[in-house]
Amino acid sequence: MKARVIVTLKNGVLDPQGKAIEGALGGLGFGDVGSVRQGKVFDVELTGSDEAAAKAELEQMCEKLLANTVIENYAIEIA
């Protein structure tokens, strides 16, 4: 079973990398970019077949390692 975990900064948390990317895109001539928020994507392959158990395990992974839940949100997609 394949899963994707998307980790993004919570609203209100400053994103200096996103601001740097936004500035660089503007410098490259992409003038229609309003703002950029930077995040992380994890593609995880699981050996089990129980989707509910997989989601629970992925949530534990996020809470313990993949996301800093003080400043980041995460979303889990299971394929």
CATH class for the region spanning 2-78: alpha beta
Integer Cα distance of 5 and 75 in angstroms: 6
Rg (CA), the chain: 16
The residues pairing with 48 across neighbouring beta strands, listed in sequence order, are: none
Check residue 6 and give its pLDDT: 98
User: Count of alpha carbons within 13 Å of 13, Cβ hemisphere only?
Assistant: 16
Check residue 8 and give its pLDDT: 98
- pTM of the prediction? 0.88
pLDDT digits (tens, 9 = 90+) for 37-66: 999 999 999 999 999 999 999 999 999 999
**What SS3 class is residue 68?**
coil
- In the chain, domain spans: 2-78
Question: In the block, which residue shows the tokens 């970019």?
Answer: 33
CA angle 2, 15, 55 (to 5 degrees): 20
